[in-house]
Structure 1
Amino acid sequence: MNRRLSVGGDEGASRVISLQLDRPQRIHLIGIRLRGFVLKLLIVLIVIVVIVAFSLPSFSGVLNEELYPRHGPLSFRDAGENEACSWTLGSDEVRLAETKRILASVRRDLLNAARQLEAVNLQYESLSKQLADKKNELKAVQLEIEEAHLLQKELRDKNNVRVFLPLAPPQRSAVLDARLPRGSSLETAFDFSRCSVAGGFRLYVYDTDKTTRREIAQRYIRHFRNRVEWTEDASIACIFVAVVDEYTDVTSLQYFRSGTNHILLNIGWKPLVNVSNAMVISPEFAKSAYRNDFDIAMYLNVPEYSENEWQHLPQLLPYFRKYFLSYSGVPLSDSFNLKEQLESIAKSASESGDEVLFELNCTTSSEPLALCHDAEYRGALLDDSMFVLLFTSQSSDSSWQFQLRLLEALMHGAVPIVVSLSAPLPLSGLVDWRLATYCIAPQRLPELYFVLRSFAPSDVLEMRRKGRFFLQNYLANTKVIAATLMAAQRQRIGVPGAEHVPSPSVPLFGLSFISPRLVPAGPPHFEEEYLGPPEAPHNSPSFTHNFTSLQLYSSYLWNEFGASLGVSLEYLTVEPPFPSQTEFDDGASFGFRPISPGSGVEFSAAIGGNRPREQFTVLLLTYRRDSVLYASLERLNNLPYLNKVVVVWNNPEDPSGHAWPRLHVPVHFVKASNNSLNNRFIPYDQIETEAVLSLDDDIDLKQHEIIFAFRVWREQRTKVVGFPARHHARYGTEMFYNSNHTCQYSMILTGAAFIHKAYMYIYTYRMPEVIRAKVDELMNCEDLAMNFLVSHITRQPPIKTTSKWTLRCATCSEMLSQDLSHFTERHECIRFFTRVYGYNPLLFSQFRVDSVLFKTRLPPNHQKCFKYV
């Protein structure tokens, strides 16, 4: 610091002396100056106070009053000169009043504080809830972003190749056909150029003037011409069909061309000759004339189709019949001592208490394998037989007697025992006859009784059931034979079935399926639970098995499902799941949504499972209950994995100007042609998913219950999966429908159940017509009919989810189930359906399905899969 000191000098001159001071000296100097200033200020204040005190004589009294105020007789100040006592405490009443006053004041303060605290708590709770909601919203947005990224990756990885119709097979000339020797293989003798896989299976049918059996020929021709493949233009035909007999000159057929692409139905009693490269369908084939990949051995003189043909078929039960084994007919040559071997079988059976019947001298005909008695007698014998022997002719590949005996055995529920390992059975190579017959070498006849006696009762009953299945689907009448032959030919040449035309949906609102009046849906009527990410509508890939159904799924379709449908199915129920690691490898390209490791939070964020992502369609059947329907639609708003809602309007009257709720997915109203409960299972073209949630309009299901049932169905898609369970029970000699609480069930009511769309097609177009007629007659039992159908196809029981037993509608004034005759009609339905199928296919289940962590004690950092199920 530089200080400048002025030093006086001569003549007023001054000079400046600069002194350089160090830092401690400067600080000490400043402290001295501050202390001096404070001391001076204190002296001034003391002087001022003294002056004021002596200039104001009443100051001491005022100060004393302010410091010690009076509160009645009680005072805490010094007593004055005139007061008798320096402390006056007052009476008890005064002290009590003062205490109460203080207490009231404190209470008021506490109440005010409590109100303020309550307001703060409410504000805190509101903010906490908003925080939780915002966190959930943020999580939902993050999941939407993740879902969008996955969808973007799927679209980016998808190989968007322009696909055109395939090139037609190379043309071939008639000269080549003439050069091909008879007996050539199908791949050389058949002209594939006329049958493109892209819808080139056209059918040309010749007239009936080529046979002497005009009546049966006319029936076959009518059924062939009723098919969608039929054409009158022979130039575009793939297959040429002619109904002929042994007197027909097949070479005179206009487009015969060495028999190329021709199918000849032989309704005569003798084998055909000069067929060249034509495919022959006949019960009779001469020795070495039958060609495995060309011909089909089958009895063709069958009756016309009748919806009541089930009445002529026996029931599968009782298991035991009068005769363990039977045979009635002319014996074969004694090349392997048939009579002696049959006598040996009869002796063994007699010793075991079984009865057999062998009639070898029952006719005057000397023709080998000649039939005995008339059809009625033979039928009665077969009705009483568990097993029946079938012998083949040694002079021919196939005989009409053998094919007729096989047909009669199936018609009467006797298990055929074919004494041959090479007999050409109908549709061999397509139908697995091992499921319905037992083939044995002739040399094993002495061992036959021992073999048959070892069969388990369940095996015998299943062989009876399969025999009836093959009969009704492929052999019973002219209609199914015509359909079967076309399906078999398609399979042989590798052309898929005709495109399945689903039932057309008629829009309810003029030309539109969507109501012209829509209003926003109301708030949810239940506690919200995060059940899955929002998704855009995603249809199930359709017709992806057109070609694999010809080979990979061929056995299932022919032996379990019924392959004579004549169409390509939109979806198959038995599509195999992917390997588990697929969802982590190429999963995104296939649409997988894997679940991250964790518990409920991670579980609800993705659909997971063993299959790619998929959605479901809600099918609602309604009739004159607009307000109930409105509430049901509102409950579906924002439901995850929902593709579409299809409302079947069973009311013959058009809707009034009623407004319907606007959901997050389209709601399509379909106008039914009539008021029928069968409309519930029509495979409408508006349904574009495999999974269908069938709902009554009065069913109140929570969204978490629906999503859980959907997840269960994805793993058990061949079954009916739902909520209300029922069972059948026997009382006395009759079977009854039962809705009481029980520990086993056999049916799931389809008023709240997931089913596969393929079953809807079978129900509408393949199930016996008399069952649908019974449903219309009683206005009841459509749910029982669907349960019978699915159990008949799968031989498995349905699956019940959650603990719900009955779903009641509190706001419904009228319900079909409340009618007094409701249960009586359902008893009748169970008995009637059993007679139609020949047995009761319903199977019992003794468990229900809940989510994995249901009622499981979890650590605090884990969450259950669902809150309530």
Structure 2
Amino acid sequence: MKEKYPQSSTVFASNTSPFQSRHSVKLNFRNFFLGLAYILLFTFLVLSIFLWVSHPQKNKAPSILLDRASLEHLTEYIVHSDLSFPSQKNCTYYTCFDVYKCSHIHSGRIGVYVYPLVEYVDKDKVPLTKKITLEFHNMLKAVTNSVYFTPDPDEACLFIPTIDLLNQNRIHPKDVGKALASLPYWNEGRNHLIFNILPGSMPEYHPFLEVDIGYAMATSGGFSSLTYRSGFDVSIPVFSPLAADLKGQNTGDRRWLVISSQPNIHEDFREIISEMASEHPRFLVLNGCTSNPLDIKIRCRDKEMYRFPEILLNGTFCLMVRGVRLGQPTLMESLAAGCIPVIVSDSYVLPYVEVIDWKRAVLQLYQGDLSKVMDVLSCVSSDRISEMRRMGNWIYTRYFSSIERITLTTLRIVNDRVFPHAGRSYSDWNDPPPDRRPLTSNTFALPIGPPRSQGFTAVVLTYDRLESLFHVLERISTAPSLAKIVIVWNNQLKDPPSILSWPRLPKPLQIVRTKRNQLSNRFYPFPEIETEAILAMDDDIIMLTTDELEFGFEVWRQFPDRIVGFPSRTHVWDGRSHGWKYESEWTNNVSMVLTGAAFYHRVYNYYYSSAMPGDIKNWVDDHMNCEDIAMNFLVANLTGKAPIKVAPRKKFKCPECVNADLFSVDLSDMAAHMTERSECINRFARIYGRLPLRSVEFRADPVLFKDNLPDAFKKFKDIGSL
């Protein structure tokens, strides 16, 4: 009996094959999915059109226009309310600024919205504000051209009204308060920034803007320590358009020690200043000229007329005393002229005080000490004058030289408050780059931390002191981070000893023979040097311990762009010879680390050998001296940084020393040797056009150095003594 197969539930027509039926089913499924796709696409389009109609544009506010046509035909904005929000004098960044409005859309950068330019009028069409000045126009333009600007208020966390409040004398405070309160995103002033330069008005001239700004931040050029809300407001300079007339710097001797050029000084201060000027012939006091009192580009002393501000180029110090307002354009003009400001104003808050270290550029005295100003200034060294002048001119150029720079600096400060993790460091704000560009066109860059695995190469310069050389090799070969030793054999009259005569060392040793006996050979970029770190050694430094070498290498790894080493020296100004003096006595300053025992990056060998300015390299080789000073000049000029002295050791004595300076031995030609080293500094400074050496007052010691702890807790136990 045959088995019956189960019958399918599908019934086929007599004239249709099973294959044709399956093909029809596939077509039906395809049509179904195509229809579903069309329906979904249609639904998506309908929803998109609906959302676009409901929200016609993302930027609900009109964008700002700063062209001439838009400024001449402003739209009227009627202020209906008479309400305003009083200024909150106790505001801080944490209580009055809503940081949560700073969206993550611009990571690490605030969004700044600028209100449209309109003409604010009351219900009777009477203007409440004045037309904007050129300075305020340039401020707004700087903001809208900056990376912070956004035309969308929903993306902004800082709002800038387009009401010109730079000079309080031009406004009616009550009317402006009403106009501010009517702004659509005002929110009682939160997250708003009000730009002002000259606060106060006659007769009191209060050191704050007398306008109701609610919880808004304010800038001002005349804050006092009582009205400045630290960390919230931003103190800015009083802008002087005359400063731009000062082209170049007078780097030579200046005729006047002190210049007082402020007009309208308070009578009490003027009497003291006039008395000092009568006693000191290098004190120049200038006033407005009675013959032409409206000409701001001239100043007079009695009947003598001087061009202003060009006269400031001939002054070493410029006096700035308190006037009717705390802030004065004298500060900006003095910095531009390289005339060091001497500020005599007890409560004046200097511009950008939260980021700029003003001690490096200006001198400040109490008002009660005004009569002592000449005694104070006569004690300032020429070295400090040069550095303060350079620092002041750099501050002016970078932060003050235009309205645009003042505006952008203000925004950077606010941005750093909101995003402190991405903010600038003290060095970013206050350390000017070297005066000269790097000696090659390539960008000078070193890694933040060279790899420890490479270790360092010890490059030992030697001539014929074999006994001390072998002691040095045995000593440094115990350092775990030592990768290789390269001997620079500088004696062309004598061959190096045979390989059997050398001590057995745990590290590779290579000998490089030079063609001439020149000190610069130690800084040649030999191909045998394969590590980034070089330990330059003389052949008689036999006293350094393994821990000292290892610690010195660790310090260099953290500061690979500096010379890091052990013997330190400094330079001082010699008033008798009117030149620089090389100093080997123990002082509180270090400006050079000698390369008889020092770490540095191998890239400096290339600079020394092929890009040393002038004839310094040839002069060093001809005189067989000062190659270490030349290397310190080179590194300081390239980086603008001082070397780092490591560990307390100051004495480097050995049995066979001949370098009187480095090893502090009692030789009869010590004075002549020191004189020659001083001549090197002065010669190199003339070639560079300046003295690039930087002084510091610290050295690097291990963290637990001299701590009363067992040696087992200390990583570097044998750091040595003096």
Normalised by the length of structure 1, the TM-score is 0.40
Larger radius of gyration: 1
